[in-house]
């Protein structure tokens, strides 16, 4: 049995999700007449209390569309130095939007209102870029699944209002945060100008992310989605999986979090592990002793049938998901502690 904890993107549709996909009514989404895509977009927008939504192939696309809509060439985006939009989207901020970045050294990827205020470019300084966007990531991938205190988000929102700067959320794993905090998605819809949510991670869809925002933001994003080659045809088959996931797979994320904490406790007993990042949601990051190569350790785990990823010098990441079962958890524990 292979235990695949490389990412929550490795999930496969459940039998019930496949059935919903097979039965979907479809049309041509580029022409706006795929009823299931429209239903998914309306459902997501309503859930977060936002005006409109756009179904896209990936979270990278939804993030990049938001950045493209909110910025102008020569402007800058404020984000944490470990942000996915900066580290893992192929330089898209520069390539797609001709914009720069202002990187903040946050707490496990979480930045503060005072840091944002200090990073905003002076309005009349011709030597500087113009700050056109602030972007947060929740939960924070490189921070080991850390999530924001909503009160700090409110403080950041106020700074953005004061400076007339839009606020974007890379919410690839926002539902993991919501399950932990008990907050309502609509609270986030009130705080952000745009939100990207991913359906193909913890929610278990085969593909797809959604961008949320005002009607004007989504109208512009739809235009740029077409430019980027992201126009769908009969995408309702995929959208049906998203509808099923939003209806059935959100609450169960708590199970992934519990299993992640068990994994953290298992590695706490391993002599070669120097540190375990605080386990807040479904991501576990361990720091190995200095003399141990993370790449060698990942290979050693793979030889045992446990798949993980190297995540920087001496760092290894594990991500729990709906296809990681209690039986696999027990087997993993036996393999690691035998």
Q: Do residues 224 and 218 touch, judged by C-beta distance below 8 A?
A: no
Residue 43, pLDDT score:
98
Residue 123's pLDDT is 85
Report d(CA 335, CA 313) in Å as an integer.
24
CA distance 189 to 212: 8
Which pLDDT value is given to residue 303? 97
> Is 170's pLDDT higher than 90?
yes
Do residues 188 and 174 touch, judged by C-beta distance below 8 A?
Answer: yes
Segments making up each domain of the chain, as ranges: 3-9+252-337, 13-248
Q: For residue 142, what are the contacts with CB-CB under 8 A and spacing of at least 6?
A: 82, 84, 87, 108, 109, 311
Give the pLDDT confidence score for residue 338 in this predicted structure: 84
- 67 near 97, Cβ under 8 Å? yes
Q: In what order do the strands lie in the sheet with 315-319?
A: 273-276, 283-288, 315-319, 309-310
Q: For the segment 198-254, what is each residue's pLDDT rounded down to a tens digit?
A: 999 999 999 999 999 999 999 999 999 999 999 999 999 999 999 999 999 999 999
Helix (H) or strand (E) holding 318: strand 315-319
User: How many residues make up the chain in this entry?
Assistant: 338
Strand partners of residue 307: 4
Measured distance CA(195)–CA(70) in Å, rounded: 12
CA dist 204 and 245 (Å) reads 7
3-9+252-337: CATH, from 3.90.1150.10, 3.30.9.10, 3.30.420.40, 3.50.50.60: 3.90.1150.10
pLDDT in tens, 244-294: 999 999 999 999 999 999 999 999 999 999 999 999 999 999 999 999 999
pLDDT at 311: 96
Quote the Cα angle for 192-134-285, to 5°. Answer: 90
Q: Is 124's pLDDT higher than 90? A: no
pLDDT tens digit sequence for 293-308: 999 999 999 999 999 9
| 72 CB-near residues (< 8 Å, 6+ apart) | 99, 130, 132
- Please state the rounded mean pLDDT for residues 152-175: 98
Q: Compute the distance between CA of residue 253 and CA of residue 264 in angstroms, rounded to an integer.
A: 17
Q: How far apart are CA 255 and CA 281, in angstroms?
A: 10
pLDDT of residue 54 exceeding 90: yes
With 90 as the cut, is the pLDDT of residue 194 above it?
yes
pLDDT score for 1:
84
What's the CATH architecture for 13-248? 3-Layer(aba) Sandwich (3.40)
């Amino acid at each position: 049995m292979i235990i695949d904890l490389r990412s929550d993107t490795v999930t496969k549709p459940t039998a019930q999700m496949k059935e919903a996909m097979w039965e979907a009514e479809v049309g041509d989404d580029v022409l706006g007449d795929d009823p299931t895509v429209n239903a998914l977009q309306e459902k997501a927008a309503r859930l977060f209390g936002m005006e409109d939504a756009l179904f896209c192939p990936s979270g990278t696309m939804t993030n990049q569309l938001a950045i493209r809509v909110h910025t102008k060439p020569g402007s800058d985006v404020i984000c944490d130095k470990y942000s996915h939009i900066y580290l893992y989207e192929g330089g898209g901020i520069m390539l797609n939007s001709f914009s720069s970045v202002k990187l903040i050294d946050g707490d496990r990827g979480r930045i503060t209102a005072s840091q944002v205020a200090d990073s905003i470019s002076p309005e009349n300084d011709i030597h500087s870029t113009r700050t056109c966007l602030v972007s947060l990531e929740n939960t924070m991938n490189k921070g080991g699944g850390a999530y924001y205190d909503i009160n700090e988000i409110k403080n950041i929102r106020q700074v953005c209002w004061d400076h007339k700067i839009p606020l974007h959320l890379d919410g690839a794993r926002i539902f993991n945060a919501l399950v932990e905090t008990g907050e309502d998605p609509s609270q986030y819809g009130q705080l952000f100008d745009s939100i990207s949510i991913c359906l193909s991670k913890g929610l278990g869809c085969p593909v797809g992310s959604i961008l949320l925002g005002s009607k004007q933001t989504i109208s512009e994003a739809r235009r740029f989605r077409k430019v980027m080659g992201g126009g769908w045809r009969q995408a309702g088959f995929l959208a049906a999986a998203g509808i099923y996931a939003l209806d059935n797979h959100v609450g169960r994320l708590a199970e992934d979090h519990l299993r992640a904490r068990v994994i953290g406790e298992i590695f706490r007993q391993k002599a070669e592990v120097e540190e375990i990042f605080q386990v807040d949601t479904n991501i576990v990051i361990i720091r190995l002793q200095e003399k141990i190569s993370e790449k060698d350790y990942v290979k050693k785990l793979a030889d045992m049938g446990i798949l993980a990823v190297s995540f920087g010098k001496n760092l290894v990441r594990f991500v729990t998901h709906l296809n990681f079962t209690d039986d696999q958890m027990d087997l993993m524990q036996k393999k690691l502690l035998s």
